[in-house]
């Protein structure tokens, strides 16, 4: 045990030394107000990208001539489709650095004035990418330490913005615009759904035009964040008992569409149907925009609902700190917490239904 601890300490010391050496640079004499090209690093999840969309808009509104490039992931880049505030999107592979070298070197040749990344801790793969791209100035959120290295020791970063406690990530990430002396006019999310996708969603929901439409999303991107089919059956049955005019539409990831469809058929409830197959995130967004209430354990669906200010009931693991960072921002929203910090196990069906009834009543009175 003692040898293990010694090895661990030695390994962390080596990592700390390498990080501090890598993330050091001489300051560049460059004023942010002179920036022409800005690169954002946002190659993680869909929900994170949705929450970040106000940053792109507010920067472009303040500096219309700035060219904005986003280093996005294969997973989240579709969020930016049709976004008028983005000039270029480059796909990054977070876990396959060598496949990114060519694109990173191309970004280096563009000689970015500013790069903005949103990690609030010390992330080695981000530091390496920034070193290759070599922007003149780098802005980030104030960083927690890692491997014994604090963010303040990394001279690679020119500006750190604050991460106030109890603040939503939407507002924390908008804070990266403070070095530009920008005061955001709005923190609303942006999703630009095509007329074609919107028409498809409208045509689908038109057949239930006399019903109150509830969309239920079954699963999140994180393992353990899933509504089980036994739970779904009870939710649907009891919602129908409360209001016979409810039509429930089940949302599913494309990869699970067939399996989910079969399970919905087995439920044999005529007030519960599968949605059409949504092939991308904006296709899901179009459908959500046509629904009256959303129930979901997945934060990306929460943020899509929030983008359209749709009433939403969320199911969240028992982690209040995480909840505050990613909470729904729709005007009408409620959350039921599970009994587990890592999964949805033990959430109260009675509380969930109570929240749904409350929101349904609020919506019908408006």
Burial class (CB in 10 A: 0-12, 13-18, 19+), 309: middle
With a pLDDT cut of 90, the percent of the chain lying above it is 74
* pLDDT higher than threshold 70 for residue 198: yes
> Could you give the residue ranges of the DSSP H alpha helices within 112-228?
124-133, 169-174, 195-206
**Structural domain spans, the chain:** 20-180, 195-365
pLDDT of 314? 96
CA 161 vs CA 19, 28, 256, 358: distances in Å: 21, 19, 40, 39
> Can you list the positions of beta strands (E) in the chain?
37-42, 67-73, 88-92, 114-117, 137-141, 159-161, 212-217, 246-251, 272-274, 293-296, 312-316, 333-337
* pLDDT higher than threshold 60 for residue 7: no
- Give the model confidence (pLDDT) of 343-362 as tens digits: 888 999 999 999 999 999 99
**Integer Cα distance of 170 and 301 in angstroms:** 15
- The CATH superfamily of 195-365 is Glycogen Phosphorylase B; (3.40.50.2000)
- Give the model confidence (pLDDT) of 154-165 as tens digits: 888 999 999 998
Q: Which residue, among 298, 304, 263, 262, has the nearest Cα to 283 in the 3D structure?
A: 304
SS3 145: coil
**Integer Cα distance of 76 and 43 in angstroms:** 7
**For the chain, the helix, strand and coil percentages under 3-state DSSP, each to the nearest 5:** 45, 20, 35
pLDDT of 176? 97
| Strands ordered across the beta sheet of 37-42 | 88-92, 67-73, 37-42, 114-117, 137-141, 159-161
2-22: buried (b, 16+ CB within 10 Å) or exposed (e) per residue?
Answer: eeeeeeeeeeeeebbeebbee
Equal CATH topology for 20-180 and 195-365: yes
- CATH classification code of 20-180: 3.40.50.2000
176, 118 Cβ separation under 8 angstroms? yes
pLDDT of 15? 65
pLDDT of 151? 77
* pLDDT higher than threshold 90 for residue 307: yes
Mean pLDDT of the chain: 91
Q: Which of 37-41, 103-107, 146-150, 354-358 shows the lowest mean pLDDT across its residues?
A: 146-150
Q: Please report the DSSP string for 40-71 in residue order.
A: EEE-S-HHHHHHHHHHHHHHHHHSTT-EEEEE
* pLDDT higher than threshold 90 for residue 97: no
């Amino acid at each position: 045990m003692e040898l293990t601890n010694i090895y661990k300490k030695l390994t962390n010391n080596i990592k700390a030394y390498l990080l501090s050496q890598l993330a050091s640079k001489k300051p560049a004499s460059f004023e942010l107000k002179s920036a022409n090209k800005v690169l954002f690093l946002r190659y993680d999840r869909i929900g994170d990208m949705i929450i970040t969309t106000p940053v792109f808009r507010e920067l472009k509104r303040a500096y219309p001539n700035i060219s904005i490039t986003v280093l996005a992931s294969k997973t989240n880049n579709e969020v930016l489709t049709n976004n008028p505030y983005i000039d270029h999107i480059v796909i990054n592979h977070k876990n396959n650095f060598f496949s990114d070298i060519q694109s990173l070197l191309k970004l280096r040749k563009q000689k970015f004035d500013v790069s903005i990344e949103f990690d609030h801790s010390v992330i080695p793969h981000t530091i390496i990418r920034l070193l290759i791209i070599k922007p003149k100035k780098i802005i980030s959120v104030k960083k927690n330490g890692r491997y014994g290295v604090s963010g303040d020791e990394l001279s690679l970063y020119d500006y750190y913005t604050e991460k106030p406690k109890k603040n939503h990530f939407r507002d924390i990430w908008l804070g990266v615009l403070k070095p530009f002396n920008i005061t955001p006019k709005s923190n609303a999310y942006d999703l630009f759904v095509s007329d074609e996708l919107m028409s498809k969603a409208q045509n689908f929901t038109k057949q239930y035009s006399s019903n109150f439409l509830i969309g239920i999303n079954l699963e999140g991107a994180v393992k353990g964040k899933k509504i089980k089919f036994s739970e779904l059956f009870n939710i649907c049955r009891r919602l129908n008992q409360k209001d016979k005019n409810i039509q429930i539409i089940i949302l599913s990831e494309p990869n699970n569409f067939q399996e989910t469809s079969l399970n919905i058929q087995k439920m044999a409830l005529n007030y519960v149907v599968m949605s059409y197959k949504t092939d991308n995130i904006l296709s899901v967004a179009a459908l959500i925009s046509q629904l009256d209430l959303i129930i979901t354990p997945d934060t990306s669906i929460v943020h899509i609902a929030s983008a359209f200010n749709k009433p939403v009931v969320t199911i969240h693991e028992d982690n209040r700190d995480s909840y505050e960072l990613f909470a729904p921002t729709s005007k009408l929203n409620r959350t039921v917490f599970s009994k587990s910090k890592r999964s949805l196990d033990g959430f109260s069906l009675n509380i969930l239904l109570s929240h749904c009834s409350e929101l349904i009543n609020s919506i019908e009175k408006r």
